[in-house]
A and B are shown apart, each in its own frame.
Chain A
Amino acid sequence: MLAVFCLADQVVAQEVEYQEDEVKAAFIYHFATFVQWPETSRSNEVFAIAVLGADGVASELEQFLPGRAIQGRPMEVRRLRGVDELQDEAVIFIGAGESFRLPELVPKVEDRPMLVVTEASGALKDGSMINFQVVDRRVRFEISLTAAERAGLELSSRLLSAAMFVDTTSAVAPAAGVIYASGDTSSLHR
């Protein structure tokens, strides 16, 4: 009887998980669209997104990306089994199971413009730039502007406005006021 319950619960969870992966894949793509990529990174023809320890998201990306492009560069997904397999990808998504590798990865990519996206609570402290959180069964994200700036990436204020939290502790904080009044971005354009 209990097992039946558990099974049912698991099915529901699986369903949620599936939807969550799909949303996250789309979000990851959209994150990339709100980043001001440096010129140098254009040298590579392919805009690659590395996925480590999140097969569901990778699968969703594989379905989502074809036909899309950023800076005119076609996009592709690369499934990594370890940090060593990192090449010249522009984005890396680290699944919750692999998030312990973050402290190891961050020093490696610190000197290049690579967007680091995670889904573990407290990941921003370990050097993640955008970290997913599920609140009320809705996928939300938090941003560390400090980490992004350290990597030389410029995040659009519109992206910041959609974030549930933006960490600017040691960052230069280009527009702190704007960040906290996230809903007011439209008034900036008026």
Chain B
Amino acid sequence: MVITIVTTFAALLVSVVALLSYEAREYRDFLVNDLTTQADILAVNTAPALAFKDTEAADANLALLANRSGIVAAAIYTLDGSLFATYQRAGREVRFPASVRSQGPQVEGNDLTFFHPVVSNGELLGTVFLQAKYELADRIRDYLLILGGIMAVSLLVSALLSLWLQGSVTGPILAITNVAQKIVRERDFMLRAPRTTDDEIGTLVDAFNAMLAEVSERQQDLEESNLKLKQESDERRNAETALRRADKRKDEFLATLAHELRNPLAPMVNALALMEAPDSPPETDRAARAIIDRQLTHMVRLVEDLLDVSRISRGKLTIRKELVDLGSVMKSAVDTVRPLLAAKDQSLSISLPEQAVHLQADPVRLSQVFSNLLNNATKYTPPAGRISLTAAVEDGVACVTITDSGKGISPVTLPVMFEMFVQDENTDLRGQPGLGVGLALAKRLIELHGGNIEADSEGLGRGSTFRVRMAVEAAPAVAPETQTCEADTNYMRYRILLVDDNVDFATSLCALLQNLGHDVRVTHDAPEALAVAAGFRPDFAFLDIGLPTMDGYELARGLIKRLSPGLNLVAISGWGQKEDRRRASEAGFAWYLVKPVDLASIRSILESPPSDQRRSLPAH
């Protein structure tokens, strides 16, 4: 607005100055021309008056100038320079020049004077003198007034125009500016400038809004990625903390482990020493054997737990689900802890539902969980304490509860009970404190089964309760048939061929299998095995893979060639890699056991042979 007015004013000023200077020059030229003409006429007319010295005629001629308001005074000089006739406008006092001066116009104050010769017949008769108002200042003042008026009007018009233009041009731009400022102030990128016109301003508004949309999108992206980063960093921090804690526990665990593995050795060494005494009585031998058996069982359990821990940390812990009877799984678990119960004189009350409960589960692993929990219960319950094992079904969920009257769990430990390597620091367990992996293992296994486990305690010294919940499977049609088997005659009796070059392992496993009531033959290499198998016709063959002269895979193929169908092959190997398992599967093995082989695995294999093996022999 100011710019418009200033430029308009400047333009007007320049034109005023130009106009005025032109006018001034024009005015002077006009006046001079006019005076010259007037003087010319006067000279011609007064020539006779001068010639005939007729002052009256001269006066009369001059008097006619009264019609010319611009002429202030006039005079006629004779040749000798004396005044012949004069004229002056009323109200003006004029001092006529004493003598004739150079001809041509001359400015004297506010008047223009002019001398002009009077000539007749080529002869100079005298001089005419004219004095006219030179009203340049007045004229310029008048002009300035007029131009000033024009300028004022022009400026007013241009100001109004500028205001109007502001409405249509700067208005939308101001609106954009307002929106931009508001955005900066409130950081609200959803604001948009209103579009009011379809011209360049409208395009500008569109571009501005598009830019806002882009900025807003970027802003959102940035905030999202910031949030994500923060979450990730939090997670990382948590993970780091967890790692540190786990690392600390692992260190503690290693210390405990060393201690735990060494502990059973001393009694075993002592027991061996007793047995080697030359004339030890049979009772002493039995006691020594019992010691060794107990300590070894403990060690085996430790090592198995350790292996499971390793599987968990490598994510290799797997289960093999099948339809199982909850009751039988619980029974096998109870069997494992009976010696402990007996040792501490603790009572175990068992309560099972009347109807059989079926689950989709890995019987060995599930049994492991329960025996673990029962083991803990006996461990943390003082001698002569009470332990109860209850199974119930509610809304299709089997709930197994193990309650003891033991030391209970401190509220500090309760939330982390199921983490790896955690042990209640308040417990004072001389002898067999365990590795602190049992509950973590149990939790993991139950989770693999799709169930959950929880611990509860009213506090230290008030006992504890563990609950395992798992979904119940509808009983299959064939289930009753299985169930009819008596508990004691749960196991079929098979002909079993055992091939292993490790004589001790083969012998001990043979004894175990024989104890279970099976017919077992042992060989230590492949040719012998083939020879024996021909006549023996085993239902199961447990083959070591690393055999001399012919490996387990080849032997398996040889046996299958001679005896299949009706032969079930079980591989026993020191290697548990995927590739090994694949090769075994290719060779025809139905099962794959990794050393050390626990009895439970073997029993579960023998309890649930493939269907084609049903034709197997009746009990011996």
Q: Interface residues, chain A, CB within 8 Å of chain B? A: 23, 26-27, 30, 33-34, 68, 70, 138-141, 156, 158-159, 161-162, 182-187, 189-190
Set of chain B residues within 8 Å of A23, measured between Cβ atoms: 53
Asked if B211 is an interface residue, CB under 8 A from chain A, the answer is no
Contact B121 A158 (CB under 8 A): no
Separation in Å of the B42 CB from the closest CB of chain A? 7
Q: In the complex the two chains form, what is the Cα distance from A23 to B42 in whole Å? A: 23
Q: Which of B5-57 contact A (CB under 8 A)?
A: 41-42, 44-49, 51-54, 57
Which size class do B's interface residues fall under? 10 to 19
Inter-subunit contact A162/B42 (CB<8 Å) = no
Residues of B within 8 A of A34 (CB): 48
Q: Which residues of B contact A189 (CB under 8 A)?
A: 41, 44-45
Residue of B nearest to A159 (CB): B48
How many angstroms from the CA of A164 to the CA of B377 in the assembled complex?
A: 172
Residues of chain B with a CB closer than 8 A to A187's CB: 64
Q: Does B154 contact A (CB under 8 A)?
A: no
**Hey, which chain B residues are within 8 Å of A184, CB to CB?**
64
* Contact between chains at A186 and B41 (CB < 8 Å): yes
Contacts A68-B123, A182-B57, A183-B61 given; does A30 touch B41 at CB 8 Å: no
Q: For the complex formed, measure the closest distance between the CB of A5 and the CB atoms of chain B, giving whole angstroms.
A: 31
- Does B550 make an interface contact (CB < 8 A)? no
Which residues of B (218-245) have their CB < 8 Å from a CB of A?
none
Residues of B within 8 A of A (CB): 41-42, 44-49, 51-54, 57, 60-61, 64, 120-121, 123
A162 touches B52 (CB 8 A): yes
> Which residues from chain A contact B121 at a C-beta distance below 8 Å?
33, 70
> For the complex, would chain A's binding face be called helix, strand, loop or mixed by DSSP majority?
helix
Whether the Cβ atoms of A185 and B51 lie closer than 8 Å is no
Counting chain A CB atoms within 10 Å of each CB, the highest count among B42, B49, B52, B54 belongs to: B52
Closest residue of chain B to A23 (Cβ to Cβ) is B53
Determine the distance from Cα of A95 to Cα of B401 in the docked complex, in whole angstroms: 184
A158 touches B123 (CB 8 A): no
- The answer to whether A161 and B44 touch across the interface, beta carbons within 8 angstroms, is no
Minimum Cβ distance to chain A for residue B78 (Å): 12
New A-B pairs, 13, CB < 8 Å, besides A30-B120, A183-B61, A186-B61: A27-B51, A33-B51, A33-B120, A68-B123, A138-B53, A139-B53, A140-B54, A158-B44, A158-B45, A162-B52, A186-B45, A186-B46, A190-B41
- Asked if residues A30 and B64 are in contact (CB atoms below 8 Å), the reply is no
A185 to B49, CA, bound (A): 11
Structural contact, A158 and B64, CB atoms closer than 8 A: no
Contact of A162 among B41, B51, B123 (CB under 8 A): B51
Q: B428 to nearest A CB, angstroms?
A: 150
Contact assessment for B57 and A161 in the assembled complex, using a CB-CB cutoff below 8 Å = yes
User: Given that A182-B57, A183-B61 are contacting pairs, would A30 and B51 also be in contact in the complex, using a CB cutoff of 8 Å?
Assistant: yes
Question: A184 vs B41: C-alpha distance in the bound complex, in angstroms?
Answer: 12
Query: Which A residue's beta carbon lies closest to that of B47?
Result: A158
Minimum CB–CB distance from A42 to chain B (whole Å) comes to 15
How far is it, in angstroms, between the C-alpha of A68 and the C-alpha of B48 when the chains are bound?
17
Contact present for B48 and A158 (CB under 8 Å): yes
CB-CB < 8 A to A68: which residues of B?
A: 123
Docked CA distance A182–B54 (Å): 12
Give chain A residues whose Cβ lies under 8 Å from the Cβ of B51. Answer: 26-27, 30, 33, 162
Partner of B60, one of A139, A158, A183: A183
In the complex, the chain B residue whose C-beta lies closest to that of A30 is B51
Bound CA–CA A70/B45 (angstroms): 20
- Report yes or no: A162 in contact with B54, Cβ–Cβ below 8 A: yes
* Cβ contacts under 8 Å, B41 to chain A: 186, 189-190
Known contacts A183-B61, A186-B61, A187-B64; A30/B52 CB under 8 A = yes
A162 to B98, CA, bound (A): 27
A27→B123 CA distance, assembly (Å): 14
**Bound CA–CA A23/B51 (angstroms):** 10
